[in-house]
Amino acid sequence: MSNEQIVSEVESLNKEYRYLNEVSIQESSAKGKLSGVCVSVKDCIVVKDMQSRAGSRVLTGYSPVFDATVIQKVREQGGTIIGKTSQDEFGFGSFNTNVGLGLNIPLNPFDKTRCCGGSSGGAAGLTQKAGFHHIALSESTGGSIVCPAAFCGVYGLCPTYGLVSRYGLMDYANSLDKIGPMAKKVEDVALMLEVIAGYDEKDSTSVKHEKEEYSSFVGKDISGMKIGVIKESLGEGVDPQIASTIQEKIAVLESKGATVEEVSLPLNNSYSLAAYYLIAMCETSTNLSKYCGMRYGKHESLEGSFNEYFSGVRSEHFSAEAKRRIIIGTFARMSGFRDAYYIKALKVRTKLIEEYKKTFESYDVLISPTMPVIAPTFSEIGQMSPLDHYRMDILTVGPNLAGLPHMNIPAGFSKDMPVGLMVIGNHFDEGKLLQIGKVLE
């Protein structure tokens, strides 16, 4: 499908909003919280009888026989599933340019020469473009919700690890993956979180946490709230115009009665990126081993030995970035290297969590820019090395490693492109993020 066809389909969806709204109400046995709401789903979240590929050619033709828990909850509340959204293959990227072989790269709704951000770029682009009542279900491993939300100018909330069931989510890195909502309004983010949050016995990482009415936090007064501005996030490597835009929003928070102070997270600034990529790649090399063309993955003619068949399927259907991450992850967890790399990265992760927890003893939330740059052009991305790509996640990997809730809030524009502000809360403090989001709306 060409990019022009993709744009045409989105415009067609806008025209069909009234029809979809009526279908949603008719199909819902009870007019739930999501009656009349169209819900798009990131490709790595399975939907029964709907092709689900996690953005990879290796899973072409896979039609799940069950719904992910979040999809089941959406249906129960009357939401209408309208389709799947594009992503980097298995979530491997910050720009949504690492799509599976033969798949299309989504274009930024503000400038078609620029990316949507990754890995949930399709979710963010559609959310911005949709002219109907729409909420996207997306997923984050190291910033895959807030990054594209920032580049496309929408709200995106990544919840506390374990708050939302991962049952039915195709793994990238088990200890990091989280499902969360994107929307144009804070109210819709809160609404979807109310629907999908909750314990699920089918998910061993699911946490038993008291049910909250997140909508009650929207519009709540923030006077007396203590906010920490992460010092390192406004320094070297961050576009000065983005830093200036964030400072303007800090002034708004102060005018609403919040106390704002500068804080430093030196360990996270120095070590979060390295720890994240070691842990994520080690876990993904294990998770992707099942896509061998036998039980899972693209089936080919059964020829040669198992190793020859296995290698042939993966060589042909995985992208260059998927292969790179599998190889690095496999090396880092090999006998003789596991203690030096993977185990050490896990120990560093514990230190990073301790630094965050210590900071939250004094502050309600922390804020920073979401991304250090505006959405880059495709030509700029083409000139980046893999390491340059990975460095783009410097501001977002910390809260993901720590399993902390964080949300992108549209903060303004630079060079006619959206700028995002990221607010980070302590575990299960999603309500405070929604408070801040509404104040800055």
138's enclosing H/E stretch is strand 134-140
d(CA 306, CA 160): 41
Burial class of residue 230, CB neighbours in 10 A (0-12, 13-18, 19+): buried
Residues annotated as catalytic (active site), given as ranges:
42, 119, 144
The residues pairing with 260 across neighbouring beta strands, listed in sequence order, are 227
Give yes or no for a contact between 155 and 420, defined as CB atoms under 8 angstroms apart: no
Tokens 């016995």 sit on residue: 201
Give yes or no for a contact between 82 and 119, defined as CB atoms under 8 angstroms apart: no
The residues pairing with 135 across neighbouring beta strands, listed in sequence order, are 39
Q: Which of 157, 235, 226, 197 is nearest to 409 (CA)?
A: 157
Tokens 């000065």 sit on residue: 240
Q: Which of 198, 218, 155 is nearest to 423 (CA)?
A: 155
For 256, other C-beta atoms within 10 Å of its C-beta total 15
Structure tokens at 195: 């629907």
Structure tokens at 339: 């203690």
d(CA 182, CA 196): 13
Q: Which of 317, 321, 316 is nearest to 280 (CA)?
A: 321
Structure tokens at 213: 């009415």
End-to-end Cα spacing for the chain: 35
Task: Tell me the CA distances in angstroms from 105 to 2, 102, 226, one per residue in order.
Answer: 10, 10, 41
Burial class of residue 115, CB neighbours in 10 A (0-12, 13-18, 19+): buried
Q: Angle formed by the axes of helices 186-196 and 430-439, to 10°?
A: 160
135's enclosing H/E stretch is strand 134-140
